Chain A
Amino acid sequence: MSAPAARPKLAVFKFASCDGCQLSLLDAEDQLLDVVGLVDIAYFLEATSKIVDGPYDVALVEGSITTPRDEERIQEIRRQSGYLITIGACATAGGIQALRNWANLDDFIRTVYASPQYISSLSTSTAIADHVAVDFELRGCPINQYQLIEVIQALVAGRKPHTRTHSVCMDCKQQGNVCITVATGEPCLGPVTQSGCGAICPTYNRGCYGCYGPAKQIHAQSLTDHLIRQGTAPAEMVPLLRNFNSGAEPFRDESNRIESLT
């Protein structure tokens, strides 16, 4: 896909999500007004009531697909958008709400709502890429604002965005953290989780819970075998792999494999 023209029309769309990833753009306080100068913000409900009709050069899509209406809406957004970027774990892997993929939706609805007949919801929560072609994925729950600014600046400059795809484990080594798993035996998903958070969990004395999703070229089973040998119960490994990126293939498949053994 070729890069959009100078001062591209930018749109921000939301599906099932917490709003945190699009808030990351407003959270880039120091760069916000510069970024606003680089692009023409045409549709960003959270930030402005000015709404410009499509088509759009760049669409940032937050959230996962969980309703019949949204299944249709994402198709229309794809038709209207030149370069479509998914932002965050919901859009790239279905988010925490993808836990319904292992449950009975009717039970879920009845748990929360007194009148289930009012609720229209799909039995699954799925990533945007399961529905339409996606041009670039930005990982994380929430995304890293510097990565988001990099992606926007790269698009305006007509170059490929540069984001790192190595594991949290490497960042941890660079920061000189003592390895949580080695030192305490506590399970940590750092070896299989993509960089981007700054290895904050191990830095704050806790194991990584995988909120940036699977890193490239990982072998999840090597880690889970090791953790289980070290004393983590298989039944505890399953929820660790099934949280904010439970729908990401390597985490999903490995959690299913372990579950089938227990």
Chain B
Amino acid sequence: MSNRTIKVEALTRVEGEGGLYVQLDGDEVRDVKLSIYEPPRFFEAFLQGRKLEEVPDITARICGICPVAYQMSAVHALEAALGVSMTPEIRRLRRLLYCGEWIESHALHMHLLHAPDFLGFHGVTDMAAHFPDEVNRGLRLKKHGNELLEVLGGRAIHPINVCVGGFYRAPKREKLTKLLPDFEWGLEAAVEATQWVATLDFPDFSRPYEMVALHHPDEYAMNEGQVASTSGLSIDVRDYEQHFEERHVQHSTALHSVRQGTDASYHVGPLARVNLSLEQLSPRARQLADELDIDWPCWNPFQAIVARGLELVHAYEEAIEIIRDYRPIQPSQIKYTHHAGFGCAATEAPRGLIYHRYEVDRDGKIVFAKIVPPTSQNQQQIEEDLRDWLPRVIVDDDQQTALDCERLIRCYDPCISCSTHFLRLTIDRGEPA
């Protein structure tokens, strides 16, 4: 039997840059490392000393695909530190903003980044010639999400309208209602897209995950709720760090998150959310979940693409409802005074739970910042999945093995820039024995 190493130098169709290193001894998996070599940017360090009002603008720059997740988590954590509570109107407008990001990010991942894996294409460039309707639908849905972000946030990437206390300016009603005809079309298209992805050819691969997500009894959790898991955990966000811990490992500039005490991995993302909050999905999404040929809860990571579809439907339905009911809010920003304090918050980024904690001083400056992105929480889970997945896909052709590993990794819609503080596949089969 020979040892060999398989390396994926640069993962593709993921956000940011990383690789994979796999070491095999015959058919036995010796080591799997998701290596994140994205250069560290030290956000938590340079936030120290900055005005708390700058935090939503600065943390947005952690990720170009999910800036709203960073902005939402930051403002909620800072508002907790300042003791500011939101009006129901601002709360709804924040959910609407998050709907925009979910639509943009999920439509992109389902149609342009993940679907090519199931259909045998390199990406949107070659898929477009064979599946023009699907590609165009994906682009159109993605555009809807971006248009909503533009109206409400000022722009789609790094919105400028989010502030501690609410929004700098409430949108005009007619700017939002103008989106309605497109969104009504989009809701039906999202249902079709979900029915389409549910018919893709999924490997029979289920895993005994502990899935973790926010859960809220009255709504599909986005900005608030208990941190819940499929193993029965249900804790206040303030207790997050007593249950989850970040570790620094040598092969990654992203920190690995594990369950405190047991060092066990866990799974965050759309599959975790749908499994934990199926009953909170919007009426169309909930009904669609039953109509699809998938049993919920679902433990097959490849079917995360279907969970994304259900959330896409949900985001459209909820966005339409919020826009229809919307009347310009006054004030758009709750006033507050600076005082020293601590605050934390968790929200649901398109890729999964994201946690922020800040300490602020009496002058409104950041003393301490801690940011736990979704992909660093999934990193160890992905490595463990690969250990189980590899024996099924190992073939003599290293390149084919590597491709099959990448397919699994992409199920998580990893966001590597985010997690740095994430991957190249290196498969080490060693020297022939």
Pairwise interchain contact A204-B406, C-beta atoms closer than 8 A:
no
The stretch of B57-65, B223-231, B381-389 that contacts the partner chain: B57-65
CB <8 Å contact, B248 and A243: no
A206 to B164 Cα, complex, angstroms: 13
Q: Is the CB of A109 within 8 A of B42?
A: yes
Cβ contacts under 8 Å, A20 to chain B: 61, 63-65, 67, 157-158
Please state if A211 and B158 are interface contacts (CB–CB under 8 Å). yes
Tell me which residues across on chain A come within 8 A of B108, comparing CB atoms.
Answer: 26
Which residues from chain B contact A45 at a C-beta distance below 8 Å?
10-14, 17
Knowing A26-B112, A108-B42, A121-B40 are in contact, say whether A201-B160 is a contact too (CB < 8 A): yes
B265 part of interface (Cβ distance < 8 Å) = no
Q: Is B191 an interface residue (CB 8 A)?
A: no
Total interface residues on A, using CB and 8 Å? 65
CB-based nearest B residue for A114: B248
Q: Which of A27, A48, A239 contacts B146 (CB 8 A)?
A: A27
- Let me know if B250 and A50 touch, CB within 8 A: no
Residues of A4-18 contacting chain B, CB below 8 A = 14-18
Q: Which of A30-38, A153-161, A164-172, A224-232 lies at the interface with chain B?
A: A30-38
- A36-B124 contact, Cβ under 8 Å, with A23-B64, A113-B40: yes
* Given A19-B16, A239-B50; A47-B112 close (CB under 8 Å): yes
Is B417 a contact partner of A17 (Cβ separation < 8 A)? Answer: yes
Interface residues of A in 77-115 (CB under 8 A from B): 95-97, 99-100, 103, 107-109, 111-115
C-alpha spacing A206/B37, complex, angstroms: 37
Question: Is B361's beta carbon under 8 Å from chain A?
Answer: no
Asked whether A46 is an interface residue with its Cβ less than 8 Å from the other chain, the reply is: yes
A19 engages B64 (CB within 8 Å) = yes
- Alpha-carbon distance between A157 and B122 when the two chains are bound, in angstroms: 28
| From A47, A70, A107, A108, contact of B39 by CB (8 A) | A70
B123 at the interface (CB under 8 A from A): yes
Complex Cα spacing A66 to B17, Å? 14
Q: Which chain A residues numbered 113 to 131 have a C-beta less than 8 Å away from chain B?
A: 113-115, 118-119, 121, 125
Given contacts A23-B64, A29-B143, contact A100 B42 (CB under 8 A): yes
Stretch of B83-91, B92-100, B134-142, B267-275 contacting A (4+ beta carbons < 8 Å): B134-142
Number of B interface residues in the complex (CB < 8 A): 66
Which residues of B (202-258) have their CB < 8 Å from a CB of A? 247-250, 253, 255
Which residues from B are CB-within-8-Å of A125?
Answer: 41
Which residues of chain B are near A44, meaning CB under 8 Å? 123
Q: How far is the CB of B164 from chain A (nearest CB, A)?
A: 12
User: Using Cβ atoms and an 8 Å threshold, which residues of chain B touch A19?
Assistant: 15-16, 63-65, 417
Which residues of the other chain, A, contact B336 by a CB distance below 8 angstroms? none
Given contact pairs A48-B125, A50-B122, A29 touches B44 in the complex (Cβ within 8 A): no
Contact yes or no, B42 A97, CB < 8 A:
yes
Please report the C-alpha to C-alpha distance between residue A110 and residue B367 in the assembled complex, in whole angstroms.
15
Q: Which residue of B lies closest to A36 (CB)?
A: B125
Chain A residues contacting B163 (CB-CB under 8 Å) are 206
Contact assessment for A18 and B61 in the assembled complex, using a CB-CB cutoff below 8 Å: yes
Q: Is A222 an interface residue (CB 8 A)?
A: no
A197 within 8 Å of B (CB atoms): yes
A15 touches B39 (CB 8 A): yes
B46 at the interface (CB under 8 A from A): yes
Contact residues in B for A67 (Cβ distance below 8 Å): 39
Closest B residue, CB atoms, query A107: B45
Give the chain A neighbours of B160 by CB distance below 8 A: 200-201, 204, 206
Is B126's CB under 8 angstroms from A50's CB? yes
Neighbour of A243 across the interface among B38, B54, B253, B417, CB < 8 A: B54
State how many angstroms separate the Cβ of A74 from the closest Cβ of chain B: 12
0/1 interface trace, chain B 109-134, chain A, CB 8 Å (1 if under): 00010001000001111101000000
| A114 and B45 alpha carbons, distance in the complex (Å) | 13
A151 an interface residue at 8 Å Cβ cutoff?
no
CA distance A118 to B42 in the complex (A): 14
For residue B38, which residues in chain A have a CB less than 8 angstroms away from its CB?
16
B interface residues, Cβ below 8 angstroms from A:
10-17, 37-46, 48, 50-51, 54, 57-58, 61-65, 67, 108, 112, 116, 122-126, 128, 135-136, 139-140, 142-143, 146, 154-158, 160-161, 163, 168-169, 247-250, 253, 255, 403, 406, 417, 421
CB pairs A–B below 8 angstroms (9 shown) = A18-B61, A19-B64, A29-B142, A32-B124, A32-B139, A45-B10, A112-B40, A142-B158, A204-B169
Q: Which residues of A line the B interface, CB within 8 A?
A: 14-24, 26-27, 29-30, 32-33, 36, 41, 44-51, 66-67, 69-70, 95-97, 99-100, 103, 107-109, 111-115, 118-119, 121, 125, 141-142, 197-198, 200-201, 203-206, 209, 211, 236, 239, 243-244
